[in-house]
C-alpha cells in the first residue's frame, strides 16, 4: 500500500474500545452502504465476539437501492440484524432504536425479573467517516456529537443519553492494521474514509472513474460529457478536464483540479447512486492472521 494506513491514534482508540467493553450491551456497527464489504472492520469479529451486534448500512441515500436491499438480506442470512439507514434524516430513526432494543431484549428481560430497569448501553463503532456521530445525533434528536465531512473527526469516546433507558457511546473511526486487498482499500479511499492528503488524488480519481465507467457508464457520460464507455483509464481525467474546461495555459489539462472535483462529486452523490462493493462478488481470499501492527507512525 502507498498510504499510511494505521495511524497511532487508532491503536489507542482500539485499546479504549476494549477497556469499555464490559459496560456495553450492544455493539452497533455502522458501515457505508456504498461499500458494505470494504467498510466492515474484520478486526471487530474478534473484538466483539461476545456481544450482541447489529449493522446499520448508513448513507444508503448515496447507494444503489437494490444493492442495499441485497446487502441487508445478506447480513440477515448470516444471522446479523441489519437495516438500511440515512443518518441525515429521521425516516428510519424508530427502526434503528427498535433494532438496538431488540438486540438487548434478553438482558433487559432477565434484569426486569430481578426487579431492575436496565439502561441499555450501546457502543457505536465503525471505520472513519461512515456517519457514527451523525447517527448518534439523529437518535438523540440533538447535536451532541461533533461531525464533519472528513475522517478522524471524533477523537475520543463520548456517552450520549437518548432516554432514561438508552445510552449510546460515540467512538473514533477505527481501521485495521493491515489491508492486503488493494481493491477494497481503493473503495475506502473513494468514499472518503481515508484522508486524501496522504494519497495521490489523480490516481485515486482515475481509479474511481474507471470503476464507475463499468458500473454506470450512462450516468458518468451524462455528468462528464467527453467520457465514453470504452475510454481507457488513463484518458478519463483528461476527458473530465475537457468536459469542464479545466485547461491551463499552454493547453495543459488541469488534471489535479479534475481529480478533486470528481471525488467531491462522487462523495456528494452527484454522479449516481452507486454501490461499489457488489454483494454477489466473491469475498477476497482470507489472509493468514498476522501480528497486529501497533501503529507507531502518526
Ligand atoms: N449523504 C449522507 N451523508 C451522511 C450520512 N450520515 C452522515 N453523513 C455525512 O458524513 C460525514 C461524516 O459524518 P460523521 O458523523 O462525522 O462520521 P463519523 O463516522 O462520526 O466520522 P469520524 O468521527 O471521523 O470517524 C458528515 O459530513 C455527515 O453529514 C447519510 O446517511 N447520508
Ligand atoms: Mg465521529
**Cell matching residue 24:** 456495553
Percentage of the chain modeled with pLDDT above 70: 92
Residue 291 counted as domain residue: no
d(CA 137, CA 150): 17
Identify the residues whose C-beta falls under 6 Å from ligand 1.
Answer: 58-59, 61-62, 86-88, 126, 128-134, 147-149, 151-154, 172-173
What tens digit of pLDDT does each residue of 227-272 get?
999 999 999 999 999 999 999 999 999 999 999 999 999 999 999 9
- Cα 110 to middle of ligand 1, angstroms: 35
Do 205 and 102 lie in a common domain? no
Residue 280 counted as domain residue: no
Do 228 and 152 lie in a common domain? no
Q: How confident is the model at residue 285 (pLDDT cuts 50, 70, 90)?
A: very low
The predicted pLDDT at position 4 comes to 57
Q: List beta partners, residue 8.
A: none
Do 151 and 218 lie in a common domain? no
Range of the domain at 263: 200-267
Q: Which atom of ligand 1 is nearest to the CA of 60?
A: 31
Do 70 and 159 lie in a common domain? yes
Do 127 and 83 lie in a common domain? yes
Residue 234 counted as domain residue: yes
Residue 165 counted as domain residue: yes
Mean pLDDT on 99-114: 96
Do 142 and 35 lie in a common domain? yes
Do 78 and 139 lie in a common domain? yes
Residue 150: nearest ligand to its CA?
1
> At 122, phi and psi to the nearest 5?
-115, 135
What tens digit of pLDDT does each residue of 31-69 get?
999 999 999 999 999 999 999 999 999 999 999 999 999
Give me the number of domains the chain comprises. 2
- Cα 198 to middle of ligand 2, angstroms: 20
| Residue among 194, 216, 196 at smallest CA distance from 274 | 216
Q: Which residues of 85-100 are buried (b: 16+ CB within 10 A; e: fewer)?
A: bbbeeeebbeebbebb
Do 158 and 222 lie in a common domain? no
Do 103 and 246 lie in a common domain? no
**Cell matching residue 87:** 443518518
Mean of all residue pLDDT scores within the chain: 91
Ligand 1: which residue has its CA nearest to atom 14?
Answer: 131
3-state secondary structure of 110: helix
Q: Which residue among 57, 85, 134 is best mutated to probe the pocket of ligand 1, counting the most ligand atoms within 8 A of its Cβ?
A: 134
Where residue 251 falls (left for φ over 0; alpha for ψ -120 to 50; beta otherwise) is: left
* Residue keyed to cell 498510504: 3
The predicted pLDDT at position 294 comes to 41
pTM of the predicted model, to two decimals?
A: 0.91
Ligand 1: which residue has its CA nearest to atom 21?
Answer: 129
- Cα 56 to middle of ligand 1, angstroms: 13
Length, in residues, of the chain? 298
Q: Which residue among 31, 41, 87, 275 is best mutated to probe the pocket of ligand 1, counting the most ligand atoms within 8 A of its Cβ?
A: 87
Distances (CA, A) of 187 to 27, 33, 263: 24, 12, 12
Amino acid at each position: 500500500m502507498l498510504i499510511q494506513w494505521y495511524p497511532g491514534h487508532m491503536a489507542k482508540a482500539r485499546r479504549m474500545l476494549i477497556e469499555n467493553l464490559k459496560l456495553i450491551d450492544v455493539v452497533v456497527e455502522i458501515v457505508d452502504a456504498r461499500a458494505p464489504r470494504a467498510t466492515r472492520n474484520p478486526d471487530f469479529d474478534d473484538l466483539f465476539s461476545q456481544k450482541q451486534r447489529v449493522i446499520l448500512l448508513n448513507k444508503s441515500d448515496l447507494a444503489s437501492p437494490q444493492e442495499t436491499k441485497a446487502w441487508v438480506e445478506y447480513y440477515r442470512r448470516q444471522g446479523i440484524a441489519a437495516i438500511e439507514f440515512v443518518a441525515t434524516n429521521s425516516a428510519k430513526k424508530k427502526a434503528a432504536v427498535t433494532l438496538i432494543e431488540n438486540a438487548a431484549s434478553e438482558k433487559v428481560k432477565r434484569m426486569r425479573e430481578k426487579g431492575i430497569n436496565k439502561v441499555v448501553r450501546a457502543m457505536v463503532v465503525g471505520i472513519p467517516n461512515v456517519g457514527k456521530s451523525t447517527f448518534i445525533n439523529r437518535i438523540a434528536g440533538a447535536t451532541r456529537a461533533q461531525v464533519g465531512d472528513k475522517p478522524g473527526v471524533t477523537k475520543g469516546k463520548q456517552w450520549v443519553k437518548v432516554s432514561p433507558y438508552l445510552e449510546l457511546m460515540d467512538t473514533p473511526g477505527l481501521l485495521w492494521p493491515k489491508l492486503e486487498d488493494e481493491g477494497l482499500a481503493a473503495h475506502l479511499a473513494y468514499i472518503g474514509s481515508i484522508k486524501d492528503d496522504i494519497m495521490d488524488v489523480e490516481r485515486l480519481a482515475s481509479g474511481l472513474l474507471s470503476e464507475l465507467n463499468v458500473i454506470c457508464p450512462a450516468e458518468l457520460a451524462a455528468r462528464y460529457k467527453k467520457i465514453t464507455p470504452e475510454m481507457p483509464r488513463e484518458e478519463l481525467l483528461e476527458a473530465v478536464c475537457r468536459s469542464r474546461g479545466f485547461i491551463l495555459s499552454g493547453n495543459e489539462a488541469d488534471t489535479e483540479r479534475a481529480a478533486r472535483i470528481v471525488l467531491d462529486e462522487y462523495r456528494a452523490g452527484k454522479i449516481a447512486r452507486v454501490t461499489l462493493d457488489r454483494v454477489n462478488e466473491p469475498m477476497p481470499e482470507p489472509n493468514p492472521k498476522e501480528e497486529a501492527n501497533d501503529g507507531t507512525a502518526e
